[in-house]
């Protein structure tokens, strides 16, 4: 299954707002959505983050179906580092290697377009699937606390 990244677009809100309201999608991310997210709220969020100078945000798409299945992004981009985030919102694509492929694509983007030295992330200890992907692609554990693991990728 071929995976590609494209710039996040306002029209993606028509799909993504539903993911934002699915507790199963968010339970292992460490993020909690306290309010119901409407289509309008999601559109406004996408408009806002597209203007940010210190982040890049992409839609994860599966070429076979040309389907938007999740998001991957680098935030808090500074001179040499950034923070990595990913989620697969379409549960039909969980466990199919999409997260690993999207992670590798974003690492390549960070190397070739952003000239970063490192990418950091925070993952819930319970998120075994994500931990496996991150270690497989080259992230290393930096720190561990009661709930989370900090990881780093040296470019």
Mind listing the pLDDT tens digit for each residue in 33-53?
Answer: 667 889 999 999 999 999 999
Tell me what pLDDT residue 120 has: 98
Helix axes 13-20, 39-50, angle to 10 degrees: 110
Range list of H helices, the chain = 13-20, 23-26, 39-50, 98-109, 128-137
In tens, the pLDDT along 110-124 reads 999 999 999 999 999
Range of the domain at 88: 3-154
Residue with tokens 């699937």: 129
Model pTM? 0.93
Count of domains observed in the chain: 1
pLDDT for the residue numbered 35 = 73
The domain spanning residue 103 has which CATH number? Answer: 3.40.630.30
């Amino acid at each position: 299954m071929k995976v590609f990244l494209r710039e996040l677009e306002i029209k993606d809100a028509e799909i993504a707002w539903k993911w934002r309201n699915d507790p199963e999608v968010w339970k292992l991310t460490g993020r909690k959505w306290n309010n119901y997210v409407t289509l309008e709220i999601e559109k406004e969020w996408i408009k806002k983050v597209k203007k940010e100078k210190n982040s890049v945000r992409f839609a994860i798409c599966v070429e076979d179906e040309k389907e938007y299945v999740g998001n991957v992004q680098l935030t808090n981009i500074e001179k040499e580092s950034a923070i990595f985030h990913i989620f697969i919102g379409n549960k039909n694509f969980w466990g199919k290697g999409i997260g690993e492929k999207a992670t590798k694509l974003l690492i390549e983007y960070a190397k070739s377009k952003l000239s970063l030295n490192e990418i950091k992330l925070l993952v819930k200890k319970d998120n075994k699937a994500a931990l496996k992907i991150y270690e497989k692609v080259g992230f290393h554990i930096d720190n561990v606390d009661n709930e989370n693991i900090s990881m780093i990728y040296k470019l």
